[in-house]
Structure 1
Amino acid sequence: MAKGVRGVKRVTKKELKEDKLVTNLLKARTFVETRQKYILVAVGAVVAVIILISLWSQSKAKSDSQAAFELTQALHQGQGSNPGAMADRFTQIADRYSGTQAGDDALFFVAQMKAMDKKPEEALQAYDEYLRQGDRSGLHYPAALAGKASVLEDLQRPREAAEFYVKAANYRSDWYASPLYRLDAGRAFRAAGDTAKAQEQYRYVLEHFPKTTFSKEAEEELTRLNGTASR
């Protein structure tokens, strides 16, 4: 090697790795800096969704609570009131808090008040609306089925009424109101001229609820039907 001429320094593997690391870090930094606006927007969107979900949950809980309060207040203050006025109040609660438990329950009371106010068609409509969207696991559900059956009887539609009484009775076989709805179904079937179906309901009560006060009534009705059939 000529004197005064420096040799070329060899680059080690370690130095190459360090150089690549620095290059990659610089690239990453450049990527973040050039796209910082979009990254912040994306993060902001995620945060916004989380906040909206939180606010929606809080709002729904507040609506549920307020609906329950207003429904309880209406039930308490409405005792002895005009059923037409009460129907209007329950309708307001149902409309204002649609989708909440209490809002749906208000529909049930709308139907009851309409029936008491001698407006069977409107009562039937309210019962149908409740049965479509109400809680099927709640006790209001079978009561609504029976309520609809009662309205159908008022409208001189006994066979349809009987079928809904049976649905109410079948809600749960061990439910305390089941034998009562069976008796109601028997009465409606008898009014529809279907003696066999009526007898079937009364026999069901005698067989499955023998130690209840309903069994005596079922026996009396069955005896009456058998006597009528033998004439």
Structure 2
Amino acid sequence: MSKIPFTGKSQQARQQQQRVVSSDPLQPAEAYNPEHPLLEDPDALALRLAESEDFLRRNKNVLLGLLAVVVLAVAGGFGYYLWRGSQDTKGQAALFQAVDYWEADSLNKALKGDGRNLGLEKVAAEYSGTDAGNLANFYAGVASLKKGEYKKAIDYLEDFSSDDYLVQARAYALLGDAHLELNQPKEAADFYNKAANHNANEFFSPGYLMKEATARELAKDYDGAIAAYDKVITDYATAAEVTEAKEYKARAEGLAGK
């Protein structure tokens, strides 16, 4: 243990020393109370350092164990980052042929593979957590929707997310289509609304709003349908959908008894 010389001063002497070094010359010596006594009292500082050294000695194994855990966590995180990058590269290569079949409308081969190349279902499962696996979910969702497998389409599309606002909005709209095919108009309308308002724009939002309004009419939510038609008319006055929106809004108002 490191040694710090004892000052040899009594408690009374230390109090007198503290009164002498008061930072406020107008303050009575008796009232001076240092804010940081450890800095004013070498003996107290020595005791505190001795206690710290003793704590380190008694808990050396625990502290070394914690240090090892931190080092392993950092190394593991870096290793996972490298592994995930290599997995994504492999996934992108596997995805290439499946997407080729998807674009050719060979949906079964796109989903299941051709016996030599993986299909979208396998890519999504085996490369989950990578960009390739995420993209496979989107393609598999669209393929399942085209095949009439609406519940599977919903599962795949719900597992998909994108930073590209147009693609993500499209995924929301496709989820709306799948729910509408399952006779779930309220859920469909909610997804169409998400699509319309996800970075809203004049090119796609009016069409999504028209789909929302139709789904709300099917759910007998005429006020919601009128609100969607109104949004097309007021927010996208130059859109091609405005004429239909005005016509369908009048019909919805009639159904609502307005």
Tell me the TM-score normalized by structure 2: 0.62
Name the structure where helix makes up a greater proportion of residues.
1
Deviations 1:75-122 (A, max 9, x none): 233323332332231111111211111211211111111111111122
| 220-229 vs 106-115, greater mean Cα deviation | 220-229
Q: CA RMSD in A?
A: 3.2
The 5 Å alignment of 1:130-169 reads 130=160, 134-135=161-162, 138-169=165-196
What displacement does 1:51 show?
Answer: 7.0
What displacement does 1:205 show?
Answer: 0.6
| 106-115 vs 215-224, greater mean Cα deviation | 215-224
Unaligned runs of 5+ in 1: 1-43
What displacement does 1:215 show?
Answer: 1.7
What displacement does 1:171 show?
Answer: 1.0
Inter-partner Cα distance in structure 2 for 1:49 and 1:204: 51
Are the structure 2 counterparts of residues 55 and 154 from structure 1 closer, same or farther at C-alpha, using a change threshold of 3 Å?
same
1:16 aligns with none
Inter-partner Cα distance in structure 2 for 1:217 and 1:49: 59
1:125 aligns with 155
2:125 aligns with 95
Deviations 1:2-59 (A, max 9, x none): xxxxxxxxxxxxxxxxxxxxxxxxxxxxxxxxxxxxxxxxxx9999888766554433
- Alignment identity in percent? 24
1:220 aligns with 247
Are the structure 2 counterparts of residues 93 and 227 from structure 1 closer, same or farther at C-alpha, using a change threshold of 3 Å?
same
Contact 1:143 1:168 in 2 (8 A): yes
1:22 aligns with none
What displacement does 1:226 show?
Answer: 3.8
Aligned residues: 189
2:89 aligns with 65
1:110 aligns with 140
Unaligned runs of 5+ in 2: 1-67, 113-118
2:106 pairs with 78, 82, 93, which one? 82
What displacement does 1:147 show?
Answer: 1.1
Are the structure 2 counterparts of residues 109 and 78 from structure 1 closer, same or farther at C-alpha, using a change threshold of 3 Å?
closer
2:4 aligns with none
One-letter amino acid of the structure 2 residue matched with residue 64 of structure 1:
D
Tell me the TM-score normalized by structure 1: 0.69
